[in-house]
Structure 1
Amino acid sequence: MTMQAANSMAHILLVEDDDDLAELIQMQLKFQGHQVVRVTNIRDAESEFSQQPFDIVVLDRGLPDGDGLTFCQQLRQHQHWQPVLMLTARDCEMDKVAGLEAGVDDYMTKPFSVLEFQARVRNVLRRVAQLSSLDEPQAEQENRMVFGPLQIVPERHQVSLQDRQITLTATEFTLLRFLASRPGRVYSKDELLDHVWQTNHSGYHHTVCSTINRLRGKLTLEQSEHHFIQTVWGVGYKFQPLPH
């Protein structure tokens, strides 16, 4: 990652074919002190990404040469974990779920307010900064989290379950690390929004549910009914290690 802190300059790839919207987004990002590279299609996005590192991708879904989700899926398949903020005109919840399942970290429906866009970018970058704040080998050993067959290595953004690597987005990883830091502690949706998404907007509750469900599915133990991420009905969610 090229970014060292949430409030430092980030290198951002903007993939948007609407010139007016792209100009507005670029202006707002540059106002926040970020460096922006803008392209209008998936082909050019792939080219730029292969040539230089980016801290975040702001990605339109409807592009001239295909669905923006295709590019997001390609990033995840090649083990690129840069957060993706998806922009879309589609307001259907199933479309949002499809985006989250493809590895999108956050989702904004057009039209959106400038203030909300700025806040979303800050929140995503802050989460990434928290993940990359420590990278020394000693810190890696000290912060390794082991729960039987489940191992979490924060400094490497790595999770393994029963000796197989688990692919998580930046948001999924942040959520897992947060819950696992206090096993058994139950967090409400509002608390998770505050600590993980760093927002108090209750309209994001469906995002919490979708991310929890994806994370739970990825942490499924073979030949076991145990779930590391458990629902406490009417209260919230908790991380539950395997019983001894």
Structure 2
Amino acid sequence: MEQQATNLMANILLVEDDDDLAELVLMHLKFQGHKVTRVARCDDALTIYQQQAFDLLVLDRGLPDGDGLDICHHLRQEQNWTPVLVLTARDSEMDKVDGLEAGVDDYITKPFSVLEFQARVRNILRRVNQVSGSPTADAETNETSMNFGLLKITPELHQVSLDDRDVTLTATEFTLLKFLASRPGRVYSKDELLGHVWNTEHSGYHHTVCSTINRLRTKLKHPSSEHRFIQTVWGVGYKFQPYQ
């Protein structure tokens, strides 16, 4: 376990105004080997982001000067794809959907299990660092890329391009795309995707899969083509379909 924590050691920004909860989260993140900076306001978070780079942002929503999601919105508008984990008491389905649509990578509601929180952090950082995996013979490949006509995926560089145009993806979006593209035409259910990409078997997170799929489709839409690389197989799940 110590070796795993060392391999995934990260610089984390915690945005939480509850002092007791912040101390608990700080303790467990540091136990995992991470460096943690804590602030309690949206404006402080945005200011410190201009001063240094972080590997993960853990944020509350109900902050003294606004909704923590505003931080995520700002980062995504600036094309900053630092992973974001929301830790909040807002537990309605719509709140979770709002968070996922804003571009967060995961969403945990209070009260929460410390073990689950640690696992979610590890999973996000693992997705960020994940570069292994070999495409099948259905794709034209070399050691570093997966080529599907207009679409090129380069796992080792964590890059995606569509018709020679760079496509910026979050760590979760990239991991999902690479997983689906590794077996073109193979249909995966939401439960299978949750297990392989999010490392969870909890069916309550089906909306997470749907939101991530929708964001990927938007980012992979070619202005002169109606082709969808990620297609829905109704009643079954999703598949990656190379450009014909």
Structures share fold, TM-score greater than 0.5: yes
Q: In the alignment, is the contact (CA less than 8 A) between 1:100 and 1:211 conserved in 2?
A: yes
Q: In the alignment, is the contact (CA less than 8 A) between 2:5 and 2:32 conserved in 1?
A: no
- Structure 2: unaligned runs, 5 residues or longer: 134-140
Alignment length, in residue pairs? Answer: 234
SS in 2 for 1:231: strand
Q: Distance in 2 between matches of 1:224 and 1:33?
A: 46
Aligned-residue RMSD, C-alpha: 2.3
Question: What does residue 222 of structure 1 align with?
Answer: 223
Q: Distance in 2 between matches of 1:61 and 1:141?
A: 44
Q: Distance in 2 between matches of 1:111 and 1:17?
A: 15
Identity of aligned residues (%): 75
Q: Which moved more, 1:156-165 or 1:183-192?
A: 156-165
Question: What does residue 93 of structure 2 align with?
Answer: 93
Residue 37 of structure 1, CA deviation: 0.7
Matching of residue 166 in structure 1 with residue 167 in structure 2: yes
Question: What does residue 138 of structure 2 align with?
Answer: none
Matching of residue 212 in structure 1 with residue 220 in structure 2: no
SS in 2 for 1:184: coil
TM-score, normalized by length of structure 1?
A: 0.87
Query: Which aligned runs of 4 or more in structure 1 are off by greater than 6 angstroms?
Result: none
- Structure 1: unaligned runs, 5 residues or longer: 134-139
SS in 1 for 2:143: helix
Q: In the alignment, is the contact (CA less than 8 A) between 2:6 and 2:33 conserved in 1?
A: no
Residue 51 of structure 1, CA deviation: 2.2
Q: Distance in 1 between matches of 2:10 and 2:198?
A: 19
Residue 95 of structure 1, CA deviation: 2.1
Q: Distance in 2 between matches of 1:78 and 1:153?
A: 23
In the superposition, relative to structure 1, how do residues 48 and 77 fare at CA in structure 2: closer, same or farther (>3 Å)?
same
Q: In the alignment, is the contact (CA less than 8 A) between 1:83 and 1:105 conserved in 2?
A: yes
In the superposition, relative to structure 1, how do residues 180 and 34 fare at CA in structure 2: closer, same or farther (>3 Å)?
same
Question: What does residue 243 of structure 2 align with?
Answer: 242
Question: What does residue 34 of structure 2 align with?
Answer: 34
In the superposition, relative to structure 1, how do residues 229 and 127 fare at CA in structure 2: closer, same or farther (>3 Å)?
same
Deviation by residue 1:8-67 (Cα, 9 ceiling, x = unmatched): 422111000111111111111122222211001122212222222221110111211222
Q: In the alignment, is the contact (CA less than 8 A) between 1:57 and 1:84 conserved in 2?
A: yes
In the superposition, relative to structure 1, how do residues 127 and 83 fare at CA in structure 2: closer, same or farther (>3 Å)?
same
Question: What does residue 194 of structure 2 align with?
Answer: 193
